[in-house]
């Protein structure tokens, strides 16, 4: 694998890095330490700037107006966009745009007109309704929300949990069981307009992350037209699974970005902080933390780029994406933890970003498939012979 960046990638990375340091960090200093949004006028100004740079709409295929960037370059960008306090869950506060629900690229023309294009223009917001109280790691079996055909409609009943954005969305994707005997082959994906009668956001689910909360949804006799099925009846699991696999690379890259920033801050601090007559950097215990951080960062970065390059070559990358997600989220947590240790008491305060990263990084070992599921995926592929 060739990790030498091309000249074009180098220029892109330098540009994005400069943007984050010169545009995002100064604004962030004035925001609440847990803030998830910029002031609207600042956001509009920066979105216009990113559009001028030609980088707006990362993850959107060129045929839909996005920049023509391969997965490797997008992975490298993700590692830069997250290098600020809110970066893990709000990279650059969203001013680089995004693909939203990428599943809609496979929608019918009518669905694209009604849902995809307004989303890409930033006119509609969305949610992804997969996880249920019965479980999220094994959605194919855990989904209990049922959809029953009734004339030209389907009638949905059930509940969802840990759904971000459902309370503010204009529409979303809801996965429901349409055949109780078929396991993963009995799940269908519905595009649901909200608010709609029968769709209720019952509560905010408070987590370690104070901004961008999740919600719990109750669905009672919600009628969805048959034409709002995304893909085919009973083939919704493939849609969900595709997202889960693709999402793992940028998800891991975000962890690496935060880890890089935490390491940068720890190195800077250990050189200027004196204890017992010398800088922290002269203490072996601190040096070893810095070394262990570097090993974690480089291992995770290697795995992210390996997965991205396989994806770019059109090869199967499920195992590599799982490895990147597993190592990226766990290594990122260790790096932030060591950086906090080096910062001592200051590392615990809201004066620095570590406490927010520490809380949010913990979620990363669960979100988008917990570490145990990643190991399960990897083991299946290695033992089953699908790997290499």
Partner 1 sequence: MGIRITKPFQPLTPENLKKVHAYLGVYHLAEPDGTIYYIGFAGGRTLFGLNSELQREMQARAGKPAMFRYEVNMQYLSRHEELMMLHVADHGELPERNRRELKHKLGRLTPA
Interface positions with partner 1 (CB under 8 A): 32-37, 39-40, 125, 167-168, 194-195, 200-204, 206-207, 209-211, 213, 215, 218, 350
Q: Which C-beta is closer to partner 1: that of 46 or that of 270?
A: 46
Q: Contact, 330 vs 361, CB < 8 A?
A: no
Phi and psi at 108, nearest 5°, equal: -70, 165
Measured distance CA(285)–CA(274) in Å, rounded: 14
Strand partners, 150: 153
Nearest distance from C-beta of residue 227 to partner 1, angstroms: 25
For 82, residues 6+ apart whose C-beta sits below 8 A from its C-beta are: 88, 91, 253, 254, 255, 257, 258, 261
Q: Which C-beta is closer to partner 1: that of 69 or that of 169?
A: 169
Residue in 269, 288, 271 with CA at minimum distance from that of residue 343? 269
Strand partners, 154: 149, 224
Nearest distance from C-beta of residue 89 to partner 1, angstroms: 12
Residue in 203, 143, 197, 136 with CA at minimum distance from that of residue 167? 203
Q: Which C-beta is closer to partner 1: that of 124 or that of 283?
A: 124
Q: Which C-beta is closer to partner 1: that of 64 or that of 213?
A: 213
> Dihedral of the CA atoms 333, 336, 338, 341 (nearest 10)?
-130
Nearest distance from C-beta of residue 33 to partner 1, angstroms: 4
Question: Is 368 a known active-site residue?
Answer: yes
Measured distance CA(35)–CA(50) in Å, rounded: 21
Point out the catalytic residue in the list 22, 268, 368, 372: 368
Nearest distance from C-beta of residue 17 to partner 1, angstroms: 26
Show which residues are catalytic: 368
């Amino acid at each position: 694998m060739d990790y030498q960046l091309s000249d074009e990638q180098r220029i892109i990375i330098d540009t994005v890095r400069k943007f984050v340091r010169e545009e995002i960090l100064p604004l962030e200093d004035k925001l609440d330490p847990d803030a998830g949004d910029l002031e609207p006028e600042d956001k509009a100004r920066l979105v216009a700037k990113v559009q001028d740079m030609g980088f707006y709409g990362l993850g959107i295929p060129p045929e839909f107006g996005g920049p023509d960037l391969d997965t490797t370059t997008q992975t490298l960008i993700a590692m830069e966009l997250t290098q600020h306090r809110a970066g893990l869950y709000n990279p650059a506060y969203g001013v680089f745009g995004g693909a939203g629900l990428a599943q809609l690229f496979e929608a019918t023309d009518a669905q694209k007109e009604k849902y995809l294009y307004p989303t890409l223009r930033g006119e509609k917001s969305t949610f992804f309704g997969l996880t249920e109280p019965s479980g999220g790691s094994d959605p194919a079996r855990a989904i209990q929300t049922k959809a029953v055909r009734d004339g030209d409609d389907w009638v949905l009943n059930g509940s969802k949990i840990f759904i971000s954005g459902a309370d503010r969305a204009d529409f979303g994707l809801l996965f429901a069981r349409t055949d109780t005997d078929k396991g993963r082959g009995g799940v269908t994906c519905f595009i649901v307009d909200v608010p709609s009668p029968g769709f209720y956001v019952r509560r905010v689910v408070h987590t370690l992350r104070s901004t961008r909360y999740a919600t719990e949804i109750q669905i009672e006799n919600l009628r969805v037209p048959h034409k709002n099925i995304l893909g085919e009846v009973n083939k919704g699991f493939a849609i969900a699974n595709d997202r889960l696999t693709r999402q793992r690379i940028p998800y891991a890259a975000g962890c690496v970005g935060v880890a890089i920033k935490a390491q940068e801050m720890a190195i800077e601090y250990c050189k200027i902080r004196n204890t017992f007559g010398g800088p922290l950097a002269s203490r072996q215990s601190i040096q070893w933390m810095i070394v262990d951080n570097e090993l974690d960062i480089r291992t995770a970065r290697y795995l992210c780029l390996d997965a991205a390059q396989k994806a770019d070559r059109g090869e199967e990358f499920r195992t590599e994406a799982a490895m990147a997600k597993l190592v990226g989220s766990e290594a990122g947590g260790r790096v932030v933890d060591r950086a906090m240790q080096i910062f001592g008491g200051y590392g615990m305060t809201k004066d620095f970003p570590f406490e927010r990263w520490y809380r949010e990084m913990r979620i990363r070992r669960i979100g988008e498939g917990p570490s145990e599921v990643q190991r399960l995926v990897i083991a299946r592929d290695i033992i089953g012979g699908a790997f290499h």
